[in-house]
Copies of this chain bind each other. A is one copy, B any other.
């Protein structure tokens, strides 16, 4: 669906980028990496705003760029919606004018969310007549987001679009983006350094460092790996695909996954909805005997399949298998020896029902 291969160097001995990755189907690909690793540079090259030294970008069979064959479609014909790190709103147009700018130029056949819908979802109704100069930082970014969406692009490029939003607004916008992604079958390249956003949105992850691709793959696979820099983060963990199974007598929602069922605080989704849960390693505890009288609601029989070093000296990751599903648990080295944990040992995995508030959206 999207194929990107780029080589670029700023100046004679400046920053060098050499990155290639592919995206097979619609969905969100997160570009993830530290400041200055080349994320914005990649977006600019894909959008056509930077002409890389050499490279090839193909979207849905359309060659956007192929320096070898001398092809370089101008940005206005690439139909890549871009949300810039610095909103770049048109100062001479009102918020409404900015939003409509892209909408007016969208090809007649293209579908996507309507003006009213975008305005409502981004909370822009009160701002429509305002000029960008009179908006707060977060408000500006919301308008930029709406503007890009309304242009009905074939590919959406977002450069830390939520960094300037507060948690509340972010939580509101995230599912909207997710819905958009699903409804439109739109591939999205998403630059972020918040794993929270990766979990909620990303299907695939491209890990970057110093202009190179460190690893690339499905989010679930990549985040379960303990050998990547991701594991050092406090929110390291695995993603678990599951389905809303119904409501428990206690009012909790049953989430069925391959190998068992989890109980979560009530979910609004109808029965049958597929969800993605991030089970963070730090939230998983293990017990060698079945515990009783515990507020922890999810106590699942599991088998330790491997023990790998954690990010700190006293920490390890336990890889747990619950049926075909995998979980990571982060425990102290001390607990390993104290409880005699070892690969092959049968344990109970403990997960609090309230830790699933942080759900990836349906796919």
Chain A contact residues, CB within 8 Å of chain B: 10, 14, 33-36, 40, 85-86, 134-139, 142, 159-160, 163-169, 193-195, 233-234, 248, 250-252, 263, 265-266, 282-283, 285-289, 291-297, 310, 312-315, 329-335, 337-339, 341, 350, 352-355, 357-358
Contact, CB under 8 Å: B164 / A35 = yes
Residue from A36, A289, A329 whose CB has the most chain B CB atoms within 10 Å: A36
B-side contacts of A353, CB under 8 Å: 332, 334-335
Q: How far is the CB of A228 from chain B (nearest CB, A)?
A: 13
Contact A251 B164 (CB under 8 A): no
Contact flag A137-B160 (CB < 8 Å), given A293-B288, A332-B265: yes
Complex alpha-carbon distance, A50 and B167, angstroms = 27
Copies in the complex: 2
Residue among B288, B334, B355 making CB contact with A282, cutoff 8 Å: B355
Q: A252 touches which one: B137, B142, B263, B334 (CB < 8 A)? A: B334
For A310, the closest partner residue in chain B by CB is B354
C-alpha gap A156/B342 in the complex (Å): 51
- 13 intermolecular pairs with C-beta atoms under 8 Å apart: A34-B166, A35-B139, A86-B86, A160-B164, A165-B193, A167-B233, A234-B358, A263-B332, A291-B291, A291-B294, A295-B339, A295-B341, A332-B353
Cβ-defined contact, A164 with B163, below 8 A? yes
- Closest B residue to A192 by CB, please name it: B166
- CB of A265 within 8 A of CB of B295, answer no
CB distance from A335 to the nearest CB of B (A): 4
A266/B314 contact (C-beta < 8 A), A352-B285, A354-B282 known: yes
Apart from A35-B137, A291-B292, A332-B354, what are 15 other A-B pairs with CB-CB below 8 Å?
Answer: A34-B138, A34-B169, A137-B159, A167-B194, A234-B357, A251-B332, A251-B333, A265-B332, A285-B294, A287-B293, A295-B329, A297-B332, A310-B354, A312-B357, A331-B354
> Are B297 and A266 within 8 A (Cβ)?
no
